[in-house]
């Protein structure tokens, strides 16, 4: 039978500590809330009051329940107030020496049977535990911010944590309405180990001026359905906190270069740019602690409207290809009012593309997203052709053929001969170098990447990929076209993976490596990222949807171009693909889909 906790202590009443106090008090448990001084104690009290008052205002907490919650909290200065509690959770800043001093004092103060827990997100629970004479009763209980809202708790056991302590804490998490994942003591645990490599990579992208902060954040929100972009999330976490976590993970986690904090991050922390809490990080905020972003020197000077002023007029568009992507792009352009010429190889394929576009438009009518008149008008703008010569007078050509460089280069060489001067030639490649395609023509300044996401009529993002030869006018034209299509065009350089795939697939690869090391299960890793980070899908769910073979091919391209050891494809991923485990499309991937 699991232990019944009647009173707990929380040490440290910052945002996280005050949130943990609220979680316990909401669930009927008496809390002794401890700080180092009266001033810090009052700040913690104000944080708790603000959180519960907001919950009442939003109708998520009754006034009587709020008052009862506050009555369960005993605010005290000093650790001596924790003599009678059953469990203590420490939530002070991420400094090992500070935590060790606190645990040594807790060991002296607390009753012998009390469990001592740390909310650390990156430090070694084992190193904290040895500051006590009861390391078997020390455990990690890692809540996620904001603690009253986030469902996940990482329960971190050391090699000497007793099984009874682990069972007691797991039962407590269930009582609190949390989902726990129990793991061993390793740098970053699950969520931070996967999250911060991705965040650090995004900082490196921005530091290298590969893409703007707005475009990096928009790409990951719109392309992956994430609740926040990586740079905005860094500001929310706190750049100083992020730096400490990354530095700890780098030193404790095998010195993986992907966790070595980007130089820009350290410079910003040194300059006092710590994110929302200081009022300035990657973005500038209305005031410290405010979520409202205000313009600053990093704000782009050119809006889509301004870009359009330097762009070419586009009225007629050619789309080459017969696959799902080509079909979706044809629909997108036709619905946006462009005259479209669809070119396929042969009348039979042309008829299939025509039928697919009609079917999709009819579904839009049935779902109430499109009127019959709009459907008919869109279809009336499309001309079906089986020859490239019909593209002689278009203003823009979008290529959407198979991902083979030789095929694309041959096509662009033909387009170079057929199309009039000044036509923008765009490739939808998601993995090939755009410059290789551009140099198959005599007009590389007019060639750009337009990477649509599947399904094109639904996904709001387009990556506009400029090469070192793409003209500013061509880039401006591409972005203006995206705006006319109702899409967000994010501009980046011609590098493997562009923005989305370059940030997404190393994260997925890291998850496979974590599973391969038997650190956790696929289910728990998926739970951690969905419940702890708000991701719409866990990494293994997403890998099975994308296809393990597709993921492996992209990861290989990233590794070959960037030569970063941490990007080397996980051997487990290669073995599964070799064995025919490709994900949903084969019925088996990281999970069995044959009966689903």
End position of a domain, from candidates 493, 510, 543? 493
How far is 258 from 442, CA to CA, in rounded Å?
A: 39
Q: Check if 95 is active-site.
A: no
Would you say residue 122 has pLDDT above 90? no
Residue 307 pLDDT class (50, 70, 90 cuts): very low
Q: What is the pLDDT of residue 297?
A: 85
460, two tokens = 């709001």
Does residue 140 sit within a domain? Answer: yes
**Domains in the chain: how many in total?**
4
Q: Pick from 144, 145, 148: which is nearest to 181 by CA?
A: 144
Q: Which domain holds residue 153?
A: 7-184
Q: Are residues 161 and 47 both part of a single domain?
A: yes
- DSSP per residue over 534-562, as a string? --SS-HHHHHHHH-HHHHHHHHHHHHHHH
Q: Are residues 393 and 423 both part of a single domain?
A: yes
Does residue 299 sit within a domain? Answer: no
End position of a domain, from candidates 227, 260, 291? 291
Per residue in 549-564, pLDDT (tens digit) is 999 999 999 999 888 8
Residue 55, helix vs strand vs coil? helix
Section 352-364 average pLDDT: 94
Residue 377 pLDDT class (50, 70, 90 cuts): very high
What CATH number is attached to the domain comprising 543? 1.10.1040.10
Given 35, 90, 154, 399, the catalytic residue: 154
Q: Are residues 232 and 163 both part of a single domain?
A: no
Would you say residue 303 has pLDDT above 60? no
Would you say residue 306 has pLDDT above 70? no
Q: Are residues 461 and 361 both part of a single domain?
A: yes
Strands 461-466 and 447-452, sheet pairing: antiparallel
Alpha-carbon distance values, 6 to 25, 160, 193, 263, 523 (Å): 11, 25, 33, 47, 32
Does residue 592 sit within a domain? Answer: no
Does residue 298 sit within a domain? Answer: no
Given 192, 311, 322, 496, the catalytic residue: 192
Q: Are residues 473 and 522 both part of a single domain?
A: no
How far is 300 from 297, CA to CA, in rounded Å?
A: 8
Does residue 591 sit within a domain? Answer: no
Would you say residue 452 has pLDDT above 50? yes
Alpha-carbon distance values, 350 to 173, 380, 408, 456, 469 (Å): 58, 16, 19, 19, 33
Q: Check if 51 is active-site.
A: no
Residue 342, helix vs strand vs coil? strand
What CATH number is attached to the domain comprising 140? 3.40.50.720
Would you say residue 329 has pLDDT above 80? yes
Q: Are residues 332 and 446 both part of a single domain?
A: yes
Does residue 2 sit within a domain? Answer: no
Does residue 84 sit within a domain? Answer: yes
Given 142, 201, 259, 451, the catalytic residue: 142
Does residue 581 sit within a domain? Answer: yes
Q: What is the pLDDT of residue 443?
A: 97
Q: At what angle do helices 500-516 and 522-533 cross, to 10 degrees?
A: 140
End position of a domain, from candidates 493, 515, 530? 493
Q: Check if 154 is active-site.
A: yes
Residue 596 pLDDT class (50, 70, 90 cuts): low
Q: At what angle do helices 213-224 and 230-237 cross, to 10 degrees?
A: 100
Per residue in 74-116, pLDDT (tens digit) is 999 999 999 999 999 999 988 899 999 999 999 999 999 999 9
Average pLDDT over all residues of the chain: 94
Given 51, 121, 278, 496, the catalytic residue: 121
Q: Check if 451 is active-site.
A: no
């Amino acid at each position: 039978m699991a232990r019944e906790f009647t009173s707990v202590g929380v040490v440290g009443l910052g945002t996280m500590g005050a949130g943990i106090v609220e979680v316990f008090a909401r669930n009927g448990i008496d809390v002794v809330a401890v700080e180092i001084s009266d001033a810090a104690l009052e700040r913690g009290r104000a944080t708790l009051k603000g959180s519960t008052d907001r919950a009442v205002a939003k109708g998520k907490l009754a006034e009587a329940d709020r008052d009862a919650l506050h009555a369960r909290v005993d605010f005290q200065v000093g650790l001596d107030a924790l003599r009678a509690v059953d469990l203590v959770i420490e939530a002070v800043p991420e400094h090992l020496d500070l935590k060790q001093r606190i645990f040594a004092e807790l060991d002296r103060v607390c009753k012998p049977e009390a469990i001592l827990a740390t909310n650390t997100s990156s430090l070694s629970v084992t190193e904290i535990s040895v500051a006590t004479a009861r390391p078997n009763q020390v455990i990690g209980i890692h809540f996620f911010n904001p603690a009253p809202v986030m469902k996940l708790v990482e329960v971190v056991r050391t090699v000497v944590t007793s099984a009874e302590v682990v069972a007691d804490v797991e039962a407590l998490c269930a009582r609190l309405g949390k989902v726990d994942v129990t793991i061993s003591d390793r740098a970053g645990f699950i969520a931070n180990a996967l999250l911060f490599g991705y965040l650090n990579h995004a900082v490196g992208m921005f530091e290298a001026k590969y893409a703007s902060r707005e475009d990096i954040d928009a790409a990951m929100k719109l392309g992956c359905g994430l609740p926040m972009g990586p740079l905005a999330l860094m500001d929310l976490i706190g750049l100083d906190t992020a730096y400490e976590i990354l530095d700890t993970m780098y030193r404790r986690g095998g010195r993986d270069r992907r966790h070595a904090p980007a130089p820009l991050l350290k410079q910003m922390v040194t300059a006092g740019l710590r994110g929302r809490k200081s009022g300035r990080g990657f973005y500038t905020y209305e005031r410290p602690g405010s979520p409202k972003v205000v313009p600053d020197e990093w704000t782009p000077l050119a809006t889509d409207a301004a870009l359009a002023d330097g762009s070419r007029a586009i009225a007629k568009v050619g789309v080459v290809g017969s696959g799902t992507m080509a079909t979706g792009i044809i629909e997108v352009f036709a619905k946006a009012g462009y005259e479209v010429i669809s070119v396929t190889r042969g009348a039979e394929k042309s008829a299939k593309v025509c039928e697919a576009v009609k079917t999709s438009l009819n579904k839009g009518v049935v779902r109430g997203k499109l009127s019959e008149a709009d459907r008919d008008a869109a279809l009336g703008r499309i001309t079906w052709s089986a020859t490239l010569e019909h593209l002689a007078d278009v203003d823009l050509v979008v290529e959407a053929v198979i991902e083979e460089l030789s095929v694309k280069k041959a096509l662009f060489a033909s387009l170079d001969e057929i199309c009039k001067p000044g036509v923008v030639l765009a490739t939808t490649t998601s993995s090939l170098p755009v410059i290789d395609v551009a140099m198959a023509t005599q007009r590389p300044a007019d060639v750009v990447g337009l990477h649509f996401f599947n399904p094109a009529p639904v996904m709001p993002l387009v990556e506009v990929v400029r090469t070192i030869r793409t003209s500013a006018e061509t880039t401006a034209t591409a972005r203006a076209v995206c705006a006319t299509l109702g899409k967000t065009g994010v501009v980046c350089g011609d590098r493997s993976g562009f923005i989305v795939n370059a940030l997404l697939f190393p994260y997925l690869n890291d998850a496979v490596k974590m599973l391969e090391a038997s650190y956790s299960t696929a289910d728990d890793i998926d739970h951690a990222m969905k419940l702890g980070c708000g991701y719409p899908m866990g990494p293994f769910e997403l890998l099975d949807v994308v296809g393990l073979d597709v993921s492996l091919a992209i990861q290989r391209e990233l590794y070959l171009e960037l030569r970063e050891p941490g990007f080397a494809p996980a051997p487990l991923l290669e073995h599964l693909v070799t064995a025919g485990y490709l994900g949903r499309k084969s019925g088996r991937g990281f999970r069995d889909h044959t009966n689903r």
